[in-house]
């Protein structure tokens, strides 16, 4: 792993032969984590306990039901499967209410420009997200047409760090995994990319993403290249 900016030629080498970019959604294209947090927190408060921002970090990149298990674990709440389904539905309804208000101003800095830059170079663009709400979020951000393929929680049965979501993305784009570059803010997503035989750009801080091939603070940092 190396920090971007050390050597431009090293970075150019990294992107050499790239035919597709596969993007995580939350934390890479848009900060929906704050809405997930708000909705989970309201649910937890209703059950009589609170969730801290640090605890919320553990929910990034994992599926809705896995997140619910973490939340219930924090509160020490033991319930049956039917009640879990009900709570997940309640949380999701609240979350959807919030993301229905999202507009293009919430696209993270440089994300749209970077997608456009890849497309202009003939690089295919795909989404690889655990979220079952990815489509509505992309549409509200006005960037759905920039994606040649969208793979989300509705098509995937195994969560990151399993590579399924990215392998399905590569297949949908008709690009070999070795020619794909994944953009991920979660450690589990970086693992998924590497397990799928892809290069991984970590979005965030290098110490949180030790297995990423390179780490940048945001997609805007790649635009200068």
Which residues does the annotation mark as catalytic? 24, 26
DSSP 36: H
Our CB check for Mg ion shows the closer of 23 and 173 to be 23
Please say which residue, 74 or 123, places its beta carbon nearer to ligand G6P.
74
Interface of this chain with Mg ion, residues 122 to 151, rule: CB under 5 A: none
Give CA–CA dist 63/68, Å, rounded.
9
For residue 103, what are its two tokens? 């507009």
185 contact choice in ligand G6P, Mg ion, none (CB below 5 to 8 Å, kind-dependent): Mg ion
Say how many C-beta atoms besides its own lie within 10 A of residue 224's C-beta.
9
Return the closest-CA partner of residue 131 out of 41, 64, 69: 64
Task: State the binding partner of 41 from Mg ion, ligand G6P, none, CB within 5 to 8 A by kind.
Answer: none
CA distance 183 to 114: 11
Q: Where along the sequence are the contacts to ligand G6P (CB under 6 A)?
A: 26, 36, 59-64, 67, 92, 129-133, 153
Residue 200 has φ and ψ, to the nearest 5°, of -130, 125
Pairing of strands 2-3, 149-151: unpaired
**Strand-strand pairing, 149-151 and 214-216:** unpaired
Q: Does 26 bind Mg ion (CB under 5 A)?
A: yes
**Minimum gap (Å) between residue 205 Cβ and ligand G6P:** 17
To ligand G6P, the closest distance from the beta carbon of 122 in angstroms equals: 29
Nearer to ligand G6P, 63 or 168 (CB): 63
Choosing among Mg ion, ligand G6P, none, which partner's interface includes residue 140 (Cβ < 5 to 8 Å by kind)?
A: none
Report the residue number, 27 or 202, with the smaller CB distance to Mg ion.
Answer: 27
CB-wise, 62 or 198, nearer to ligand G6P?
Answer: 62
Minimum gap (Å) between residue 214 Cβ and Mg ion: 17
Backbone angles phi, psi at 191, to 5 degrees: -60, -45
Convert residues 166-205 into a mask of x (bound to Mg ion by CB under 5 A) and - (unbound): -------------------xx-------------------
Separation CA 128–CA 150 (nearest Å): 7
Q: CA-to-CA distance for 74 and 158, rounded, in angstroms?
A: 23
> Residue 27, interface with Mg ion (CB under 5 A)?
yes
Question: Does 21 interact with Mg ion (rule: CB under 5 A)?
Answer: no
The residue assigned the tokens 């994300």 is 111
- Tokens matching residue 75: 């509160």
Give the footprint of Mg ion on this chain (CB under 5 A).
24, 26-27, 185-186
């Amino acid at each position: 792993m190396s920090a971007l900016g050390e050597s431009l030629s090293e970075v150019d080498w990294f992107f050499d032969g790239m035919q597709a970019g596969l993007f995580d959604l939350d934390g890479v294209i848009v900060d929906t984590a704050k809405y997930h947090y708000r909705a989970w927190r309201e649910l937890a408060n209703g059950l009589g306990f609170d969730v801290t921002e640090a605890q919320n970090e553990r929910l990034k990149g994992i599926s809705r039901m896995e997140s619910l298990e973490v939340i219930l674990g924090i509160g020490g709440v033991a319930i049956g499967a039917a009640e879990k389904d009900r709570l997940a539905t309640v949380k999701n309804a609240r979350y959807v209410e919030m993301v229905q208000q999202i507009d293009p101003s919430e696209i993270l800095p440089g994300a749209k420009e970077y997608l456009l830059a890849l497309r202009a170079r003939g690089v295919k663009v795909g989404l690889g997200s655990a979220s079952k709400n990815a489509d509505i979020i992309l549409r509200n951000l006005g960037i759905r047409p920039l994606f040649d393929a969208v793979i989300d929680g509705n098509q995937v049965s195994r969560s990151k760090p399993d590579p399924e979501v990215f392998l399905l993305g590569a297949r949908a784009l008709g690009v070999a995994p070795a020619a794909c570059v994944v953009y991920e803010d979660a450690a589990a997503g970086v693992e998924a990319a590497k397990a799928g035989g892809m290069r991984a750009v970590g979005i965030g801080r290098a110490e949180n993403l030790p297995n990423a091939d390179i780490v940048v603070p945001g997609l805007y940092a790649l635009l200068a290249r």
